[in-house]
Structure 1
Amino acid sequence: MLTTDGAVATIRFNRPRQHNRLDSADIAALHERIESAEADPALRVLVLTGSGPSFSSGYDLGAAQNSERAAPDAESCDDGEVAFSRLCDRVEAIRMPTVCALNGGVYGGSTDLALACDFRIGVTGMRMRMPAAQLGIHFYPGGLRRYVSRLGLATTKRLFLTAETIGAEEMLRVGFLDQLVEPDGLDAAVAELAGRIAACAPQATAGIKRSLNELARGTLDDRAGEAAFRASLHSDEFADALKAWSQRRPS
């Protein structure tokens, strides 16, 4: 479900009885909603959240296994785990900053979906777990990269190689969460953060986000970054912000 409020778009997982487990149809629908949000220039922030006790329990591996048994070829695989990995890559690449509002527990591949977002706010009492090794799954490269770049190698090894469940306070300590709040304070915390992001110049924000992601992947082109910096000094955004700054009023 996609809703908008001013400059903020929200995608909400709304299958609480299944702990917001995702299947191939959900992935296709999420791509559509992401495209819709990104195409609207008035939107500056995208929030991902869920309904019920969990943010998401990850991809429906049972459905994926049944699908591959029925048609064990590359295309059927793309409809499952590979499609989920591409969804996480797509979330990471969205032009606007993203906030994952973790209303509850997050498990399996959905931990990577959360890490693909730029910010993560969680609630007390939540937990996370990455059971890939226990389930016999060699996790996909993009997810491993996100884990290592966000959490560091040691923490990534701990979470993957032990399949340990950790609680909210530990999630905050290792850097999975940027902020931890009481459940009834989640909406306010997300709104405050989204408001701060939306107040920044959108083109500069999108460019900085892109360059930071490239830097984390080791693909940043210094010459392109320098060109973007110089171009920003001649942009309407900079001129408007400089004028507002000189008049001591919000831009």
Structure 2
Amino acid sequence: MAATDYDDITYEVCEQIATIRLNRPEARNGYTLRMSDELEDALQRADRDDDVRVVVLTGAGGDFSVGADLSGGGFDVSEADEASGQEHWQEPAGRCSRTIHLMNTPVIAAIRGAAVGGGLTITLSCDFRLAATDSRFGFVFARRGIYPEGASVWYLPRLVGVTKASDWMISGRVFGADEALASGLLTSVHEPHEVEEAAHALARDIRDTTAPVSVAVIRAMLARLSGGSSPFPAHEVDSALIRNLATNADAIEGVRSFLEKRPPTFPGTVSRDLPSSLPWADQPTHTPD
């Protein structure tokens, strides 16, 4: 799928930052099966490209996404009837959150207006969520007689704790940016016309000051190790990584640039230089081209 083939999103790379935009503003970016397919493709495209250092995920128009497109009077789960069988079917929002979770590239969500249901759960695996003062959030599943998706019952308590996750999910109430920020759901809040630029400013800072291999490893460690019942598996991974720092080209450049008081130029690339000692090094993260 070429970038020009997208219908429900847009994809643009500029100065090593990929901007993926939900692009159904006339439907307040209602989430569709086609949008799910295109998001999965675009996110994996960005992650395979060593020239893309950060992804910004945002929406066209005044809203990020109002969740599943209900204009047809119900929920489109037609893919469950395909020949692959229902046991292999993955719900659309979860496919997006899973793809982000497995990426090496950091993802910043820039949210304006409504982010509700699947339009919110797809952001929970992002590394940062920046929102506008006019943003409204809701895990409204119980009020629609349906169930949480996007693996949100796993992500949300890790972000805000079980008490707040229960409050939001069981009541299904809609809440504002101040409550979301105070509860730990958001990284920061900005004026509506400033939120996307704030996301790109953060992306540029990551691009200019961090090593892509280090970011990829740290991101994976947080996703895979931070929820363990013991710190010792993380310590084992730490030890295997630190043991080889003396000959690590990125580490050498990081120290040298610090001592020379200049911006770093890290030589490592994710496609070539991820440490082989990582326990998950042989696990696939992308579907084949």
TM-score (norm 2): 0.79
Counterpart of 1:43 in structure 2 is: 52
Q: Which residue of 2 aligns with 1:240?
A: 253
Match for residue 156 of structure 1?
Answer: 165
1:93 alignment counterpart = 102
Asked whether the equivalents of residues 151 and 176 of structure 1 are also in contact (C-alpha less than 8 Å), the reply is yes
Moved more, 187-196 or 93-102: 187-196
In structure 1, the gaps of 5 or more residues are: none
Tell me how large the CA RMSD over aligned residues is. Answer: 2.5
| SS of corresponding position for 2:137 | strand
Match of 1:210 in 2: 220
TM-superposed deviation, 1:60: 3.1
Instruction: Determine the C-alpha separation between the residues in 1 that align with 2:28 and 2:150.
Output: 26
Q: Distance in 2 between the 1:69 and 1:35 partners?
A: 21
Superposition map of 1:115-134 within 5 A:
115-134=124-143
User: Match of 2:202, as an amino acid?
Assistant: L
| Structure 2 residue 39 is the aligned partner of structure 1 residue 30 | yes
Gaps in structure 2 of 5+ consecutive residues? 1-9, 265-289
Cα contact 1:204–1:232 (8 A) shared by 2 = no
Shift of the alpha carbon at 1:184? Answer: 1.7
After TM superposition, list the pairs within 5 Å mapping 1:163-178 onto structure 2: 163-178=172-187
Residue 247 of structure 2 aligns to a residue whose secondary structure is coil
* Identity score, percent: 26
- Could you tell me how far apart the structure 1 residues matched to 2:174 and 2:102 are? 28
Note the alpha carbon deviations across 1:71-118, whole angstroms, 9 max, x for none. 499846866x62321221111221111100002210002211111110
Residues 25-83 of structure 1: CA deviation (Å, up to 9, x unaligned): 1111111111211111111111100011210112335577454599499846866x623
Cα drift, residue 150 of structure 1? 0.7
Is 1:191 matched up with 2:200? yes
Tell me, in whole angstroms, the C-alpha distance in 2 between the residues paired with 1:236 and 1:168.
Answer: 42
User: Aligned partners of 1:19 and 1:141: how far apart in 2?
Assistant: 19
Matched to 1:114, the amino acid is: T
Structure 2 residue identity aligned to 1:202: P
Aligned pair partner of 2:237 in 195, 219, 224: 224
AA of the residue aligned to 1:242: V
Mapped contact 2:58–2:110 kept (Cα < 8 A): yes
Higher helix share: 1
In 2, the alpha carbon distance for the partners of 1:193 and 1:31 equals 23
Change (3 A) 1:69 1:35: closer
Letter in 2 for 1:238: A
TM-score for the superposition, normalised by structure 1: 0.90
Q: Which of 172, 177, 180 is equivalent to 2:189?
A: 180
Structure 1 residue 225, shift from structure 2 partner: 3.3
Q: What is the letter of the counterpart of residue 53 of structure 1? A: G
